[in-house]
Amino acid sequence: MLPYIPSICQLPKLPFPDDFPEYPTKKQFTDYLESYAKIFELNPQFNETVQSARYDEMGGMWRVRTVVSRGGNAGRNTEVEYICQWLVVATGENAECVMPEMEGLEEFGGRVIHSCDYKSGEAYRGKQVLVVGCGNSAMEVCLDLCHHKAFPTMVVRDSVHVLPREVLGKSTFELAVALMKWLPLLLTDKILLVLSWMILGDIKKYGLKRPSEGPLELKYTQGKTPVLDIGALGKIKSGAIRVVPGIKRFLHGRVELIDGRVLNVDSVIMATGYRSNVPFWLQGSDFFSKDGIPKEPFPNGWKGKSGLYAVGFTRRGLSGASLDAVRIAEDIGRVWKEETKQAKQIIACHRRCSSQI
C-alpha cells in the first residue's frame, strides 16, 4: 500500500479529510470517492462491460457498446450504446490479470488462483503455498500467508528492486518524487539504491538479484514497479518465506524447479502481473500498440485523434496518471468553450438502451 500524496491523489475541488492517515485504508478511500460523487452529482455506471468502441466518421462521434449485467436475472443482460464526442480510455496498464501457461499445470490438481483473487491467508493455514512472482503483490501475499501460519515459497525468476517503505520517517515514494524535481533520474536512482543498501543490506544473498537498471529507470522504461518492503524481506531473511528460482514444470501435487529440486505444493498463487485490455475492445484506431499502450512515448501519449484520450498509461504511477488527467480535462474544457462560443450544438454524451441479450 502506497502513501497518498495530496497533489496527485486527491480529486479536484475536494481535499482529503484532515484526519486522513499517511496510509489510508480501502474503506477510507472508497468513502472519499463516494462522497465526491455525491457532492458533485456524478452518476458512475457499475456492472457494465465495454464490448467495443469505434469512431463513426459519418456522425463525427464515438460509439461505445456495453453490456450491463443483471445479477439477479441470469441471461437477461442489457446491451447499451453510448454516443460521445470524447472518449477517455482510463483502463490503464493493469486492466486484466496475466495467467501464464506452464507445463503440467493442468495436472497439478491443487488450487490455482491469480493474486487478484486472493483475499486472506486463512484458507491456506498450515498449507505449502507456491507464490509465483516477486513484485509487490507477491511479497504482500507471502507476508500475509506467514501471518496465517501458512508456509509460502516465492518463485523469483527475474531480478527485482526492493526498497524500504520509509526513509527517516518519510515515504520512499514521496522522497523519489521530491528528488526528481531537482535531480536527473539516474542520480535519483543512485541515491535510492544507496539508501536501500544502508537500510536493507545486501539482498542478493537471499536470492533477490537487483536489475542493472535503477528502480525509477526500470519503471519508466518497462513499467516494472519496485517493491516497497513492508516486512516480507524480514521473513525472507528468517527463512519463513523461502525463495526459489524458476519453474521447470508442475507435477501432481508437486513442482519441479529449474535447478532440479522437486517441492511438495498444496496451492499456487500466480502473482504474475497485469496487462492492458484496450486491443480487445477499441476498434479502428492506431493510437495504441498491440500491447494496449499508446505508441507515443511520455509525455505525448495522452491525446489521439477525433477526441480520443488516454490516462494511466505513462508507466509513471500516480504522478503520470495525474498529469494526464489534468491535460485531458484542460483540453476538453478548451474545445468545449471554443465550440460553445460559436453557438454550435454540442452533444457531450448520450446513452441509449438498444437491446436485451
Instruction: Of 55, 14, 67, give the one whose Cα is nearest residue 37.
Output: 14
The whole-number pLDDT of residue 144 equals 97
**Cell 497533489 identifies what position?**
7
Query: Which of 241, 266, 251 has the alpha carbon at shortest distance from 156?
Result: 241
**DSSP structural state of residue 213:** S
- pLDDT value of residue 73: 55
- Three-state secondary-structure class, residue 230: coil
Threshold 0.75, pTM exceeds: yes
Q: How far is CA 164 from CA 98, 216, 277, 340, in A?
A: 27, 14, 32, 51
Q: Which CA distances in Å does 166 have to 44, 170, 262?
A: 35, 5, 37
- Tens-digit pLDDT string for the chain (357 aa): 445 565 667 888 999 988 888 778 889 999 999 999 999 999 998 989 999 999 999 999 999 999 998 765 556 788 999 999 999 999 999 999 999 999 999 999 999 999 999 999 999 999 999 999 999 999 999 999 999 999 999 999 989 999 998 887 778 888 888 888 899 999 999 999 999 999 999 999 999 999 999 999 998 888 888 999 999 999 999 999 999 999 999 999 999 999 999 999 999 999 999 999 999 999 999 999 999 999 998 889 999 999 999 999 988 877 788 889 999 999 999 999 888 877 555 556 666 665 554
The residue type at 162:
V
Nearest to 307 by CA among 350, 349, 351, 354: 349
Rounded CA separation 306/308 (Å): 6
| 8 A C-beta contact, residue 222 and residue 315 | yes
Tell me how far apart the alpha carbons of residues 103 and 106 are, in angstroms, rounded to a whole number. 8
Give the N- to C-terminal CA distance of the chain in Å, as an integer: 40
